[in-house]
Chain A
Amino acid sequence: MAKKLITVHVNGRKQEKAVEPRTLLIHFLREELHLTGAHIGCETSHCGVCTVDVDGQSVKSCTHLAVQCDGSEVLTVEGLADKGVLHAVQEGFYKEHGLQCGFCTPGMLMRAYRFLHENPNPSEEEIRAGMAGNLCRCTGYQNIVKAVQYAAAKLQQDQKVAA
């Protein structure tokens, strides 16, 4: 199948690759770029384990074509920590026991990251609604809610310090 050349900035690095037009973003990330943090769980956009951030929006990369990302900025879980310092959402999941098998975690973290940009000071109900596109079979969500609350508080604290 004829390939198309695309340029995508992934976790701040420019990537130029020739891909089949039918290549899904998740396969592009996992197979071409060896970024295996995001996973595949359902192929129908329901479970969210493939969630990454594309141009400032949460995207389920199992139903998104790589060619749709030509010229885009993509952030994956591998790009979340800053020079070895964990992002607040990563710290929150660790401190609040927000993960068990870890399979949903990269997608969950990327959604939490974007959600806290959309709503920096959410109520529990808002967290539950805002994260509802990501499924977890292990935790029952209760500790993930706490993890997001932890991250929200930390991000606000960091902002105050910066200001």
Chain B
Amino acid sequence: MNAPVDPTLLQRKDALQGLGESRLRKEDARFIQGKGNYVDDIKLPGMLHMDIVRSPFAHARIKSIDKSAALAVPGVIAVLTADDLKPLKLHWMPTLAGDVAAVLADEKVHFQMQEVCVVIAEDRYAAADGVEAVQVEYEELPVVMDPYEALKPDAPVLREDLAGKTTGAHGAREHHNHIFTWDAGDAAATEAAFAKAPVVVKEHIFYPRVHPCPLETCGCVASFDPVRGELVTYITSQAPHVVRTVVSLLSGIPESKVRIVSPDIGGGFGNKVGIYPGYVCAIVASIVLGKPVKWIEDRIENISSTAFARDYHMDGEIAATADGKITGLRVHVVADHGAFDACADPTKFPAGLFHICSGSYDIPAAYAQVKGVYTNKAPGGVSYRCSFRVTEAVYLVERMVDVLAQKLGMDKAEIRAKNFIQKEQFPYTSAFGFEYDSGDYQTALDKVLAAVDYKALRAEQAARRADPHATHLMGIGLVTFTEVVGAGPSKMCDILGVGMFDSCEIRVHPTGSAIARMGTITQGQGHQTTYAQIIATELGIPSEVIQVEEGDTSTAPYGLGTYGSRSTPVAGAAIALAARKIHAKARKIAAHLLEVGENDLDWEIDRFNVKGDPARHKTMKDVCWAAYNNVPAGLEMGLEAVHYYDPPNFTFPFGVYLCVVDIARETGEVKVRRFYALDDCGTRINPMIIEGQIHGGLTEGFAVAMGQQMPFDAQGNLLGNTLMDYFLPTFVETPHWETDHTVTPSPHHPLGAKGVAESPHVGSIPTFTNAVVDAFAHLGVTEMTMPHSAYRVWQQLVKSGVAL
């Protein structure tokens, strides 16, 4: 029998609202009362407004720009072109991927909606009037929209500025529109595995270009004080400290005089990682004019010109035994990077962490090669709610495993189980060299199959297939994914040479409350709530009195920001370790106050007890007060700590998702009947917030799989760049989500936590596609390109001869 639990202990634990509690969110009070502070809410005295003249053509030479009519518009103060930025050497800027990108089009435009010049005016209406009045004369050039076409010998030269450059940031350039070729794994061993494999399957899988499309567009308010020589910029950034470094390098203003503030951010999803021409122009305009300048994108500008995601053309191959054991995986990718290589990836990884594409499976030999190509599309290539290119990798492997199962006539759950990395194999080193920290895939799979009664679903599907009068096809999509997140160990990961650590500074006040500042920045993830919970448990201070601040580079310690599910794996660890430094000092003070040795104390929730005599104790509140007036000899006053955490490894969250769809044979409409998502993110800090993140990620995955695409015509016109055309699911289309979890802590993370918010996006997209394709599997269909809109699915129904 368990010993009875002391109810006062439980009360004291509850009072902390620490790790594991579904604590309600601290940030909500301001948002539900309209008191959020987003960039466009910021208004500074004398502030001017900037708007951008953009190219209507995807590829054209600029013959002339006539500003005169714009300058005559009432309220217009200035018009800046590339020629105006040239003396400052700011008409081009370096990208995160080692390329350069035009800030304002220099002699020619490379994609539709590229920034050509900016108009600064007294208010936003006058700025828009000024944009209308600028006269730009263009000479159209041949447009290249297809990356395969771009690599043909006689393809038009897109980047004249790179003429003669045979080496790029990532090695040799083979062609004038070629950016890099990157590979991972062992080509020879993989070739050998394929040579002797009794079964080989191949599939061409295209992952279309999509856009993260947060509801708040990008923007900034730049304010340069010419007297003090200081620049303050409020900006929609997921990485404000990196922005400060880049702005300092570009402008020559010392980093100590540049203050970047990410205030409340209305969703990021990867879109707000990059540094966009609009930011640079607003900063330049503020420096030149000596006044604050605000720039806020509209929706068309956001979708057309800021960072897209994916656009990966993947050729996957699997080698296997006749009974379905995978012996080799090979992937060749052509990656459409658009006009400038502005992918946001760790410097050494031009294809991100795509080499996680061996997934949850024990594959002895693997090889991946990615070729980056220029086209006349907008630059970007960000991780839309995923760690770097992990969505593409998971999509590839989870689709390919289904293709193999279909070829062998095996069940899709059985083939996964047969190839899983087994629980005992962790830590497991993949053929690509990743060391997976922990996992228990079989338990997760079993739990999901039992929860949905998988056997009954397959029986129902068989009956449906046998019934010629059935009005609907039925598909079951299953995915057992593993992600790599928490970038990352600085020996592998850096951005512009800055290691991808993250940081935390905690100050505990005399009366027992605390403030913590972090290098990350929340965009809805609830850091102000969850970070405080970590500290509460570590230090025995109630969450309620712990303030969490992020996003202001003048107060927060340097950090690499929030994207790639890195906040909990990296910053979360920094918080725990900073708190443990404080805890260690608190123990010394408590020992001093109680006149015992440090080792004579037990820590219990919120206090230090003398071993064997808990009536003698000091609470953390007592210690906080003493830290400012009565510390042992030789110890500094105060109670604060900073920790910069350089993770020893990535973390590897995983999950098992199952989706059942019914497809109307008459219309092609796909109805999600059921979606069951089991996630394992290791230790769970706030289950309520985790569940909310999963709902949101699943919905974004649903959007990508079922409707999002950026269609272009041959002239390079983007045919869907408003919310009329670009699919954001409403309440009505969005399915009901069922969530579940297992807990397999990360052995190397101080809390055992792995990160979660991107798993549902990464995992759900192949689940939807697998479900839709599975509905056609008995008809020999192995691949259908997203998005699975009714029209496209209906075309497949017709092609397969099953449309009604």
- Chain A positions within 8 Å of B, measured between CB atoms, are 20, 22-23, 27, 30-31, 34-44, 46-47, 49, 76-78, 80-81, 86, 90, 93-95, 97, 99-106, 109, 127-129, 131-145
Contact = CB atoms under 8 A, between A and B. Distances in A.
Contact of A135 (B32, B38, B688, B728): B728
Nearest to B686: A97
B692 A41 contact: no
Contact of B24 (A44, A80, A94, A127): A94
Given A47-B723, A101-B523, A90 B32 contact: yes
A121 B661 CA distance: 31
B298 A104 contact: no
Contacts of A129: 731-732
Given A42-B723, A43-B299, A44-B724, A137 B31 contact: no
Given A41-B299, A81-B33, A105-B31, A142 B215 contact: no
Interface string B738-763: 00000000000000000000000000
Interface of B: 24-25, 27-36, 38, 40-41, 43, 123-125, 213-217, 264-267, 269, 296, 298-300, 523-526, 688-689, 691-693, 695-700, 722-724, 728, 730-732, 734, 736-737
Nearest to A86: B32
Nearest to A78: B34
15 contacts: A30-B41, A36-B38, A37-B33, A44-B723, A46-B724, A47-B723, A80-B33, A94-B24, A97-B24, A97-B691, A100-B524, A103-B216, A132-B731, A135-B215, A140-B695
A105 B32 contact: yes
A37 B266 CA distance: 12
A100 B470 CA distance: 42
Given A42-B723, A47-B723, A99 B32 contact: yes
Nearest to B30: A102
A100 B124 CA distance: 29
A143 B700 contact: no
Of A20, A99, A127, which is in contact with the most chain B CB atoms at under 10 Å from its CB? Answer: A99
Nearest to A46: B723
Nearest to A101: B524
Given A41-B216, A102-B30, 11 more contacts: A22-B125, A39-B266, A41-B217, A46-B722, A97-B691, A99-B25, A101-B215, A135-B215, A136-B215, A142-B737, A143-B692
A140 B696 contact: yes
Of A31, A36, A44, A138, which is in contact with the most chain B CB atoms at under 10 Å from its CB? Answer: A138
A141 B731 contact: yes
Contact of A137 (B25, B43, B696): B696
A19 B216 CA distance: 26
B770 to A, nearest CB: 20
B299 A139 contact: no
A84 B261 CA distance: 30
A47 B692 contact: no
B673 to A, nearest CB: 16
B215 A49 contact: yes
Contacts of B25: 94, 97, 99
Contacts of A143: 692, 695
B199 to A, nearest CB: 39
Contact of B267 (A81, A90, A101, A144): A101
Contacts of A20: 125
B524 A102 contact: yes
B269 A132 contact: no
Nearest to A131: B731
B32 A109 contact: yes
Closest 8 CB pairs of A and B: A37-B34, A103-B266, A102-B31, A101-B524, A140-B695, A100-B524, A140-B699, A46-B723
Nearest to A139: B696
B272 to A, nearest CB: 11
Given A102-B524, A132-B731, A94 B299 contact: no
Contact of B695 (A27, A41, A81, A142): A142
Given A140-B734, A140-B737, A100 B696 contact: yes
B525 A100 contact: yes
Contact of B40 (A40, A90, A135): A40
A38 B38 CA distance: 11
A137 B28 contact: no
A27 B296 CA distance: 13
Contact of A101 (B40, B265, B724): B265
A57 B38 CA distance: 26
A69 to B, nearest CB: 18
A44 B65 CA distance: 30
Given A49-B215, A90-B32, A97-B689, A140 B698 contact: yes
B41 A36 contact: yes
A47 B215 contact: yes
Contacts of B30: 102
A106 B723 contact: no
